[in-house]
Amino acid sequence: MSSKKNKEALLTPLGLNNPVTVQVLGICSALAVTAKLMPAIVMGISVTIITALSNVVISCLRKTIPLRIRIIVQLVVVAALVTIVSEVLKAFAYDISVQLSVYVGLIITNCILMGRLEAFAMQNEPWPSFLDGIGNGLGYAKILIIVAFFRELFGSGTLFGVNILNYDCVANAGYVNNGLMLMPPMALIIVACIIWWQRAHNKDLQQK
Amino acid sequence: MANKKFKCTVCGYIHEGAAAPEACPTCQAPASAFVELKAEKKLPTGSNAYTFAYAAAMVIVVAFLLSFVSSALRAKQDANVKLDTKKQILYSLNVTTADPDAYFSKNVKDMILKGDTIVEFKDDFATLYETEGKKGNFHVFVCNLDGQTKYVIPVYGAGLWGAIWGYVALNDDKNTVYGTYFSHASETPGLGAEIQSPAFQKRFEGKQVGDSLSAVKISVVKNGKVEDAKYEVDGISGGTITSTGVDAMLKSCLGNYTKFLSK
């Protein structure tokens, strides 16, 4: 249950095989939800859960899925799962579902989900697929949180909506919040900086 | 003659033939050490008929699953939506209470416009005010707030990505804004979504809806461009389209009430 291969499936997406910085998946949603920390964390958790669940479902079905319509089957499974989860939340945890309503569309079309289903769940047993889903979801969440931390801190001067930099003494020292940080392009630049840092520290990732 | 496969359990050698060999050629194990390998049954995942059948079955299963979940949870979801709507209306009145339902039925009356007066709304508590407006039911919530009368008017419109809506609470002069609540379906976090922040909603307090109320004059202008502080509210920088949406929403929805408000 916790063989070396399973451990790899769970842990490499956090570092050497990170879905955002190495596989370059899920960039679009990384732009959309990282202006604030809170939505970034919510999105990270939701993607983790949905990736793990859909990986398990597809992995169980993998031997029966007709090859020519496999992408459609994957999409239907993901969309059905997300819809069911959001309906259940709407009935039993209404406040959370209101917060998540923005993300439902973003989760269904998140390329991390499709990428992992196609690359991993179609070839592997349910348990490793589950771990792979959790690992990739957390790897994605990790990058979102780093990006959102910098964007919220330097863009709005807050963290989790709590004031950090908006004081008179800071303003008098000549510091102003950078509005560009709140714009989507800044997320790309921060992701690029993370990729740069990661490749500089890992010889394996450098192109020869 | 179909070729069967036999695997030696001692060394793993695989023999193809009608029966197991008498002795394993690599480790000399006897025939009894061989087990037959059954060919894995493979589904015809490439065939057209299978593909069509699979797609049809999948659609039916998923459709049943979704409609089952949806209808099983409908009642609970509706109750949640109603409770949430009441919370939002109370929020525009700066009322936070542990039991919105009880507070609402005690202090708030659901009325609708009839000519230039209001009459009690007899149906079930409605939550979709856009549909209600199309039916000609323009709701006004009359609230008794510590002896003072406040009027809450639901507003709805479109932002940048999707629907936006809100509630505007007026003092009993039917002109001065007492409080507001705005919410949105999918505006950009940090930009347009800021209409949901208390900081933005507080900006409306004390503004006038209009002068003689021939027209609605309250408006949301570009951030930092307020000229007439009596009617104009600062928009959100970076959320221009959402701010414009709030402006248009106030004008069109409050516009339906001018007869009532000017009386």
| Confidence category of residue B212, pLDDT binned at 50, 70, 90 | low
What are the tokens at A82? 């997300």
B-chain residue closest to A102, CA distance: B186
Among A36, A73, A80, the residue with its CB nearest the CB of B189 is: A36
Contact yes or no for A35/A155 (Cβ under 8 A): yes
What is the average pLDDT value for chain B, to the nearest integer? 85
CATH number at residue B26: 2.20.28.10
* CA distance to partner chain A, nearest, from residue B229 (Å): 25
Chain B hits for A63, Cβ within 8 Å: 42-43, 45
Q: What are phi and psi of B241, to 5 degrees?
A: -70, -40
Cα Rg of chain A, angstroms: 19
Q: Is the pLDDT of residue A134 over 80?
A: yes
> Which range among A38-42, A162-166, B139-143 shows the weakest confidence by mean pLDDT?
A162-166
B87 and B28 in a single domain? The answer is no
B161 and B220 in a single domain? The answer is yes
- How many domains, in total, are found in chain B? 2
* CA distance to partner chain B, nearest, from residue A39 (Å): 8
Among B46, B62, B190, the residue with its CB nearest the CB of A76 is: B62
Q: Is the pLDDT of residue B66 over 90?
A: yes
B168 and B109 in a single domain? The answer is yes
* CA distance to partner chain B, nearest, from residue A83 (Å): 8
Q: What per-residue confidence (pLDDT) applies to B151?
A: 92
Chain A hits for B66, Cβ within 8 Å: 80, 83-84
Each residue's pLDDT tens digit, B5-56: 787 877 878 887 777 777 887 788 787 778 777 666 677 777 888 899 999 9
Q: Does residue B23 lie in a domain region?
A: yes
A69 close contact with B: CB closer than 8 A: yes
Q: What per-residue confidence (pLDDT) applies to B152?
A: 92
Q: Does residue B242 lie in a domain region?
A: yes
B258 and B135 in a single domain? The answer is yes
A-chain residue closest to B82, CA distance: A94
Q: Is B224 helix (H, G, I), strand (E, B) or coil?
A: coil
* Alpha-carbon gap, residue B100 to B107, rounded angstroms: 10
Q: Does residue A119 lie in a domain region?
A: yes
Give how far Cα A93 sits from Cα of A97, A98, A123, B84, B102, Å.
6, 9, 35, 12, 21
Contact yes or no for B34/B24 (Cβ under 8 A): yes
* Alpha-carbon gap, residue B169 to B261, rounded angstroms: 12
A180 close contact with B: CB closer than 8 A: no
A71 close contact with B: CB closer than 8 A: no
| Confidence category of residue A208, pLDDT binned at 50, 70, 90 | low
B133 and B23 in a single domain? The answer is no
Each residue's pLDDT tens digit, A42-69: 888 888 998 999 999 999 988 888 888 8
Give how far Cα A112 sits from Cα of A5, A50, A120, A133, Å.
20, 11, 11, 9
Q: Compute the average pLDDT of residues B151-162.
A: 91
* Alpha-carbon gap, residue B73 to A89, rounded angstroms: 10
Each residue's pLDDT tens digit, A68-102: 888 899 999 999 988 888 888 888 888 778 777 77
Give how far Cα A130 sits from Cα of A7, A60, A135, B30, B35, Å.
12, 11, 9, 43, 33
A-chain residue closest to B80, CA distance: A94
Q: Is B92 helix (H, G, I), strand (E, B) or coil?
A: helix
Q: Compute the average pLDDT of residues B113-122.
A: 83
Q: Is the pLDDT of residue B116 over 90?
A: no
Q: What are phi and psi of B174, to 5 degrees?
A: 55, 25
Q: What per-residue confidence (pLDDT) applies to A56?
A: 93
Chain A hits for B43, Cβ within 8 Å: 63-64
Q: Compute the average pLDDT of residues A113-129.
A: 88
Q: Does residue B217 lie in a domain region?
A: yes
Q: Does residue A184 lie in a domain region?
A: no
* CA distance to partner chain A, nearest, from residue B77 (Å): 5
What are the tokens at B13? 């050698």
CB contact set of A96 (below 8 Å; sequence gap of 6+): A89
What is the average pLDDT value for chain A, to the nearest integer? 84
Chain A hits for B190, Cβ within 8 Å: 35-36, 151-152, 155-156, 182
Q: Does residue B50 lie in a domain region?
A: no
Nearest CA-CA partner of A156 in B183, B198, B244, B194: B194
How much of chain A, in percent, has pLDDT values that exceed 90?
15
Full domain range(s) for residue B208: 83-262
A174 close contact with B: CB closer than 8 A: no
Question: Given CA atoms B60, B63, B65, B71 in this order, what sign does their dihedral have?
Answer: negative
Q: Is the pLDDT of residue B2 over 60?
A: no
- How many domains, in total, are found in chain A? 1
Q: Does residue B202 lie in a domain region?
A: yes
A96 close contact with B: CB closer than 8 A: no
Among B42, B45, B62, the residue with its CB nearest the CB of A80 is: B62
Angle A110-A112-A114 from CA coordinates, rounded to 5°: 80
Q: What per-residue confidence (pLDDT) applies to A1?
A: 54
A141 close contact with B: CB closer than 8 A: no
How much of chain B, in percent, has pLDDT values that exceed 90?
27
Q: Which of B51, B58, B164 to mutate to test the interface with A (most CBs of A within 10 A)?
A: B58
Chain B hits for A183, Cβ within 8 Å: 238
The answer to whether the Cβ–Cβ distance between A91 and B73 falls below 8 Å is yes
* CA distance to partner chain B, nearest, from residue A15 (Å): 28
B13 and B135 in a single domain? The answer is no
Each residue's pLDDT tens digit, A174-189: 788 887 888 888 889 9
A-chain residue closest to B162, CA distance: A102
Q: Is the pLDDT of residue B1 over 50?
A: no
Give the strand pairing for B219-221 and B232-234: parallel
Q: Does residue A24 lie in a domain region?
A: yes
Q: Does residue B112 lie in a domain region?
A: yes
Q: Compute the average pLDDT of residues A116-122.
A: 87
Give A37-41 contacts, CB < 8 A, sequence gap 24+.
Answer: A37/A145, A37/A148, A37/A149, A37/A152, A37/A159, A37/A160, A38/A160, A38/A161, A39/A99, A39/A102, A39/A103, A39/A148, A39/B189, A40/A141, A40/A144, A40/A145, A40/A147, A40/A148, A41/A141, A41/A144, A41/A145, A41/A148
| Element spanning B144, H or E | strand B139-145
Q: Does residue B22 lie in a domain region?
A: yes
ipTM, two decimals, is: 0.71
Tell me the CB-side half-sphere exposure of residue B173, using CA atoms within 13 A: 12
Q: Is the pLDDT of residue A129 over 50?
A: yes
Among A32, A94, A179, the residue with its CB nearest the CB of B84 is: A94
Q: Does residue A113 lie in a domain region?
A: yes
Residue bearing the bigger pLDDT, B225 or B50: B50
* Alpha-carbon gap, residue A152 to A148, rounded angstroms: 6
* CA distance to partner chain B, nearest, from residue A176 (Å): 15
Chain A hits for B83, Cβ within 8 Å: 94
A147 close contact with B: CB closer than 8 A: no
